[in-house]
Amino acid sequence: MLILGTCYPATWEGRPPGMTHDDWPIWMAWRAANIVRDDTYFYNVRIGSPVAAPANAPDNYRRQWELASLYRIDALGISPGRISIYEVKAKGTTESLWQLHTYHSLLTHELSHILTFDAWLITESTVKGTLSHSGNLKIKVFSLTPED
């Protein structure tokens, strides 16, 4: 299951749905450096297989339960022939890299006709070792400060 939500133009500068107040300035710093990278963006994207709500749950609760059980991608950037997956974190870690690796795997399965996917960790800073592991996983890192 893939739930994209609203499509935003690359020029939109509001606070993206689902993005925390702490992560938003980091995202905007990246956007300022890479404004023409993608044509459009989707935020707070849900992907995966939902976990069924309890059988006796009310309908509105069931929907929320299932949405909450899906993985949540901070942003997807769309350009002709390419989808970019973005995870925005104040502190980038190897756990962040594995999140991106999981999202990449799920999207590749869901959208196998897309030519190219790339994955980005957008962060204020990274924990030691994150950058070396990112290369092994083919994940790009944008960090506002050098690795700790």
DSSP three-state, residue 135: helix
- Residue 63 binned pLDDT confidence (cut-offs 50, 70, 90): confident
Q: In the predicted model, is pLDDT for residue 148 greater than 70?
A: no
Query: pTM surpassing 0.85?
Result: yes
Average pLDDT, the chain: 89
Tokens of 47: 């992907």
pLDDT at 137: 86
Q: How far is CA 78 from CA 59, 64, 116, in A?
A: 33, 27, 11
Tokens of 60: 């509105």
pLDDT in tens, 86-133: 999 999 999 999 999 999 999 988 887 776 889 999 999 998 888 888
Q: Which residues partner with 78 through β-bridges? A: 40, 83
Question: Who's near 110: CB < 8 A, 6+ residues apart?
Answer: 1, 2, 47
Which residue type is seen at 95?
E
pLDDT at 115: 67
